[in-house]
A = this chain, B = another copy of it.
Amino acid sequence: MRLYIGLVHFPVYNKNYQRIASAITTIDLHDIARLARTYAAKRFFVITPLDDQQRLAERIRSHWTNGYGARYNRHRKEAIELVEIVPSLEQAIDAIRAMEGEAPLVMATDASRQKHRAMSYERARCIIRSDRAVILIFGTAWGLDQSVMERADYVLDPVLGRTDYNHLSVRTAAAIILDRVAGR
């Protein structure tokens, strides 16, 4: 498995479907880094073009990997070490290409139905298991901008539970999706 995770803060939608850059949420970094460590992702890219947001993410990263946090909680250190902060999805892809010798497949997640493109979890699981490099990307705020969807090679089915309600947080949706596509 050569799985990478990306959390996209730009371009994403706000509540009114305008294209924005969202703010870093500390708890998303912690929760998704721990998921990355749990499901053996090779790296967790935090994607934001904003300087101050990159600095914030960097400060969180160094607190838990070199600072007091690293001594306080070594389990957290092991997870946060997977975090890499990059300004764009393209730069995450470049970083993966440099490590893997090939560009990764881009697999996007989306809470709304993209009728023509949606891919089942079973199929996603096969692709990830086939040992192709894959970056699984999650959108913050009201979801990934259409331009990111068009850049993606695949778009996963929305997460459904037992009802038609699909308004989960990105943290909990990422947990369910990772368990489905990368669990044992």
The residues of A with any CB-CB pair to B shorter than 8 Å are: 1, 27, 30-31, 34-35, 37-40, 75-76, 78-79, 159-163, 165-169, 171-176, 178-180, 182-184
Contacts and interface: CB of A to CB of B under 8 A. Distances in A.
Contact of A40 (B163, B173, B179, B182): B163
Given A172-B175, A175-B176, A183 B161 contact: yes
Contacts of A171: 31, 169, 171-172, 175
Contacts of A162: 1, 38-40, 182-184
A182 B159 CA distance: 13
A34 to B, nearest CB: 5
A179 B161 contact: yes
A159 B39 CA distance: 11
Determine chain A's interface SS by DSSP, over half rule: helix
Contacts of A182: 161-162
Contacts of A163: 37-40
Contact of A38 (B30, B31, B165): B165
Contact of A179 (B31, B78, B176, B184): B176
A38 to B, nearest CB: 4
Nearest to A35: B172
Nearest to A27: B27
Contacts of A168: 31, 34-35, 38, 175
Contacts of A173: 175
Given A169-B30, A171-B171, A176-B179, A161 B39 contact: yes
A40 B167 contact: no
Contacts of A38: 159-163, 165-168
Given A176-B175, A176-B176, A165 B78 contact: yes
A57 to B, nearest CB: 18
